[in-house]
Homo-oligomer: A and B are copies of this chain.
Amino acid sequence: MGQRPGDLSAPARLAGPDEGIGADELALATRNHGLPLEALRHDVTPPGLHYVLTHYDIPYVPDAGAWRLTVDGHVRTPLDLSLADLLSFPQVTTRVTLECAGNGRALLTPRPVSQPWLVEAVGTADWTGVPLRRLLAEAGADPAAVDVVFTGADHGVERGVEQDYQRALPLSVATGDDPQVLVATAMNGAPLPPQHGRPLRLIVPGWYGMAQVKWLRSVTVGDVPFTGFQQSVAYRIRRTPDEEGEPVTRIAPRALLVPPGFPDFMSRTRVVRPGPVRLSGRAWSGQAPVSSVEVSTDGGAHWEPAVLDPVVDGHRWAWRAWHHTWTATPGEHAVGTRASDADGHVQPLDQHWNRGGLANNAVCFVRVVCVADACWP
């Protein structure tokens, strides 16, 4: 009797100095999943390999034909649209790299207790849908409005607050063309899978995952700033619990490596043979185009430039391939990579710690052991 949300939701906290991953973090790690890093080989991430983060449950939508999307609030003509209605608008396809704002969290010291991502919370897909600004124009959104609020069908409790997942974008972003925000109905040319928002989701190219509202049910134009949980409590950069903090917005630059050679099952240590090893991977930034990628095979003491492959078909919002040849010598190596973008952002070697473990893009190193054949049984 008399249960209250505080009984269900522990407050946000930091792990102790030697505290292993807890049962709560493991339950999240088992549900949500990253991109296995060898899948960085694919230009477009095949279904099931793209990262997935769901705050609550994946809604069950057996009949996508019955789904409705409303556009309301400070508009001239509210809209109530079916999937068929949305498909009757001109469709746009954009290749977009999405990354969770909490990527890298489990590598931080101290570790914020939440979904314990290492560095794999990323993926790239071709998203097809209707430009949001087309729908806002159709509805006649008030040009003096402030925020546009997006509500998903996913429902739960978070730090004591029962909620539908909601996020907002400033009207200028929602109606902008750089990036052009989409209400997406297809991923890689097929209807959205359940875990990616079936049947509708928002795609905001260049922004971290919290902006990409899945299972989208309503778009509400507001004349005051949105102060919902996911906007004003979660997804803010804070070093102390009481500060207002800076909102998380666009993706900071990051480069990742296809782990070379082959792995040891349990440690994931990589094994290579002596001689030339082709290193390759992807790099991205939501802040500006990637301008360079560097590789280090000695834990960051020395860096060499990688070759950046050309941008494919003008895909400004997708990751960019890079490669580099390394001559491996017997022994142990710490192999890493870092990206810079055209606005001068460079991946840091040291963590930029904050309480949420958000927007962290510190360089990571992969342990690679080069073994001469003669030494192997």
Contact = CB atoms under 8 A, between A and B. Distances in A.
A48 B113 contact: no
Contacts of A22: 20-21
B195 A262 contact: no
A102 interface: no
Contacts of A193: 46-49
A24 interface: yes
A194 interface: yes
A247 interface: no
A331 interface: yes
Size band of the interface chain A makes with B? 35 or more
Interface in A27-57: 27-34, 36, 38-39, 41-42, 46-50, 52, 54-57
B29 A265 contact: no
A118 B106 CA distance: 19
B58 A264 contact: no
Interface in A254-302: 259, 262-269, 271
B24 A268 contact: yes
A281 to B, nearest CB: 13
B57 A259 contact: yes
Given A8-B369, A193-B46, A56 B263 contact: yes
B195 A8 contact: no
Contact of A27 (B31, B46, B268): B268
A89 interface: no
B58 A262 contact: no
A36 B32 CA distance: 8
A114 to B, nearest CB: 7
A267 B20 contact: no
A264 B47 contact: no
Interface stretch (A66-74, A135-143, A153-161, A303-311): A153-161
A50 B47 CA distance: 11
A21 B31 contact: no
Given A1-B330, A264-B158, A52 B57 contact: no
Contacts of A47: 47-48, 193
Given A8-B269, A36-B54, A49-B195, 15 more contacts: A2-B330, A3-B331, A3-B370, A5-B377, A8-B264, A19-B20, A21-B25, A26-B29, A27-B268, A30-B118, A39-B194, A56-B263, A56-B265, A157-B264, A162-B376
22 contacts: A3-B331, A3-B369, A3-B375, A8-B271, A8-B369, A20-B21, A21-B21, A21-B25, A24-B266, A26-B26, A26-B116, A30-B118, A38-B57, A39-B58, A46-B193, A46-B194, A47-B48, A113-B266, A114-B266, A156-B265, A159-B266, A162-B271
Interface of A: 1-5, 7-10, 19-22, 24-34, 36, 38-39, 41-42, 46-50, 52, 54-58, 60, 106, 113-114, 116-118, 120, 155-159, 162, 193-196, 259, 262-269, 271, 330-332, 369-372, 375-377
